[in-house]
């Protein structure tokens, strides 16, 4: 399979903007809103991450996508033009504040001169001022020349250009925050979900399926269990319950991983698949409710099911059965 970085390089303009939109949403949980603008009248903005509901009157990050043709890299002249747009449109009142971070997204990278410039942020403003007539005056708008006014000069001189950076295809491909975009835009498999960790204490989210298991255990034992501790202390049912809790949390980890990294409906489709895998066995006549649970677990654990070609491990599929109980789709107790 082609490497992810190579696939990112091959993205078309709109695909790259979509990729960056998804990436930005995952990259920073500080954003209250992500807006994708792009297009001919974007005023130097492709994707914006707003850090408050004040939007352009508060802090915001700007992602400027620069898809280059084969063999071409982002150069100083084009970078200066894009930076010049931001100061011009801010001075003209299009946005009340300047971006907190300015991120060039150039999958094919930068040429050596621009790399040197971005590694020395104190030189960026000077270069922008010195080359304004060449790179900005007639390139910012298609109508009238944009002169380097005292107001724009003051904005450039006051700006902290350490906020300017560049993301290349290799950097994006290595960033964990890019995984949802790699899956949703490029169609790459999401990989293995992490192992679930079972806490010692039973959480509120477990109460529905555990309460039903407790009823089933009581029916099998021929006497009620006053507390969950009594169940855990039982020589047979205590271990059975611990295994079910492990499976439940394996399913939680799988659900959360794919919910964050795949298309929105993938987890719902997976859960529906598990339901249809188990329901025939579930509806069969069994010697007891506990025998039904064990039969469902055995069958579901062995049946193939997964998301986007990634097969779920047996405890994930078995734990999803408990999620279905919590959702009210099936019941363990009569």
Whole-number pLDDT of residue 1:
44
Q: Are 196 and 204 in contact (CB under 8 A)?
A: no
Whole-number pLDDT of residue 2:
61
Q: What is the pLDDT along the chain (334 residues), one digit of tens a residue?
A: 469 999 999 999 999 999 999 999 999 889 999 999 877 677 888 999 999 999 999 999 999 999 877 778 999 999 999 999 999 999 999 999 999 999 999 999 999 999 999 999 999 999 999 999 999 999 998 788 999 999 999 999 999 999 999 999 999 999 999 999 998 899 888 888 899 999 999 999 999 999 999 999 999 999 999 999 999 999 999 999 999 999 999 999 999 999 888 877 889 999 999 999 999 999 999 999 999 999 999 999 999 999 877 889 999 999 999 999 999 999 999 8
Phi (first) and psi of residue 64, to 5 degrees: -105, 115
- Give DSSP secondary structure letters for 71-124: T--B-HHHHHHHHHHHHHHHHTTS-SS--SEEEEE-TT-B-HHHHHHHTSGGGH
**Calpha distance 133→129 (Å, rounded):** 8
**Calpha distance 35→61 (Å, rounded):** 11
Whole-number pLDDT of residue 243:
98
**Calpha distance 64→80 (Å, rounded):** 12
Whole-number pLDDT of residue 67:
86
Q: Are 317 and 301 in contact (CB under 8 A)?
A: yes
Whole-number pLDDT of residue 309:
76
Q: Is 91 exposed, middle or buried (0-12, 13-18, 19+ CB in 10 A)?
A: middle
pTM assigned to the model: 0.74
Residue recorded with tokens 């490029």: 186
Whole-number pLDDT of residue 41:
73
């Amino acid at each position: 399979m082609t490497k992810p970085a190579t696939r990112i390089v091959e993205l078309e303009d709109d695909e790259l903007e979509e990729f960056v939109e998804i990436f930005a949403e995952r990259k920073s949980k500080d954003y209250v809103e992500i807006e994708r603008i792009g297009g001919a009248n974007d005023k130097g903005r492709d994707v914006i991450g707003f850090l408050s509901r004040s939007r352009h009157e508060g802090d915001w990050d700007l992602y400027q996508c620069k898809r280059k043709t084969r063999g071409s890299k982002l150069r100083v002249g084009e970078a200066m033009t894009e930076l010049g747009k931001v100061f011009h449109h801010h001075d003209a009142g299009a946005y009340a504040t300047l971006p907190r971070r300015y991120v060039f997204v150039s999958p094919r990278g930068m040429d050596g001169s621009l790399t040197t410039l971005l590694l020395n942020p104190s030189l960026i403003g000077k270069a922008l001022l010195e080359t304004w007539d060449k790179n900005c005056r007639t390139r910012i708008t298609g109508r009238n020349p944009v002169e380097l006014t005292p107001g724009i000069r003051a904005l450039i001189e006051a700006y902290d250009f350490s906020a300017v950076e560049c993301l290349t295809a290799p950097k994006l491909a290595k960033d964990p925050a890019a995984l949802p975009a790699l899956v949703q835009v490029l169609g790459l498999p999401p990989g293995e979900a992490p192992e679930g960790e079972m806490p010692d204490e039973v959480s509120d989210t477990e109460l529905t399926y555990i309460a039903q298991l407790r009823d089933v255990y009581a029916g099998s034992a021929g006497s009620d269990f006053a507390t969950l501790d009594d169940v855990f202390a039982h020589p047979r049912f205590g271990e059975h319950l611990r295994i079910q809790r492990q499976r439940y949390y394996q399913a939680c980890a799988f659900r959360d991983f794919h919910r964050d990294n795949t298309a929105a409906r993938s987890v719902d489709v997976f859960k529906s698949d598990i339901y249809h895998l188990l329901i025939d066995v579930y509806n069969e006549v069994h010697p007891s409710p506990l025998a039904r649970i064990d039969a469902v677990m055995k069958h579901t654990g062995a049946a193939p099911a997964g998301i986007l070609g990634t097969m779920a491990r047996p405890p994930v599929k078995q734990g999803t059965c408990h999620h279905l109980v919590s959702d009210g789709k099936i019941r363990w107790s009569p």
